[in-house]
Structure 1
């Protein structure tokens, strides 16, 4: 895929969706965080966050690891190598879009439309 393609062709909805992109940004840099950190940071309900994590996990973008303390479970989330690649692609595409916007000339104030 080329950064020169159309925006619709370039953006991956699994990654680009606002909440999922926020999750990926929090996971950037190779950190592993627990479910409650993401829930609190993003101000989401358990169910809403769980569904977004399911989508990302099904796409191979994140890995979820469960630990147990007695009967209490704790979920740990991290980017996979593929997820790191997809986040990098998204960042390049967004930079390309921003560059295209910056190149658009502002209309002269004396022009009439």
Structure 2
């Protein structure tokens, strides 16, 4: 009886492991080192005034469900919230970020 319980538990864990997407695959240190870099002199960085608002108002975190593209979904959801919100506190629904043949849904 105990073995059956553990086998069923292991099967349930293995089946649920693929329920949600795994996200972005990080770069290897070699790939990261090969990316182009911008070097600014210290005087140029220190003389720039920093804006008061670095990031425009963005939507609250959402839930992508079982889509296997969490990085793409999160990027699209945040971009649509920033670009298409009629006011700083009104954001489109997370359901507007959906796969619809590549078409942008009308808001």
In which range does the TM-score fall when normalised by the shorter chain? Answer: under 0.3
Pick the structure with more helix per residue: 1
Pick the structure with more strand per residue: 1
Which of 1 and 2 has greater Rg?
2
The normalised TM-score by structure 2 is 0.20
